[in-house]
Amino acid sequence: MVEGKNISVSFRVSARFKHLLEAAAARERRSQTNMLETLLYDYCEQHGIEASHQTTDNNISVEDPTK
């Protein structure tokens, strides 16, 4: 199932992080959002982390990080 992108996330990063994200995304011909998604999904797959279908009050899927 294809997930829609309807949740906004905002956080502050260092200038170095921003420049590296821009460079990595450009090299892979990806958007910065897609680059972060790809990196996060790959990390989670490698470490056996899966999002559950449980939701919070904001309907955001969460997983117990202690599992």
pLDDT in tens, 34-48: 999 999 999 999 999
Can you read off the two tokens belonging to residue 50? 């899966």
Q: Give the global pTM.
A: 0.69
Task: Report the phi/psi class of residue 14: left, alpha or beta, with left for phi > 0 and alpha for psi in -120 to 50.
Answer: beta
- Which range, 35-39, 51-55, 56-60, is most confident? 35-39
pLDDT at 40: 96
Q: Facing residues of 61 across strands?
A: 55
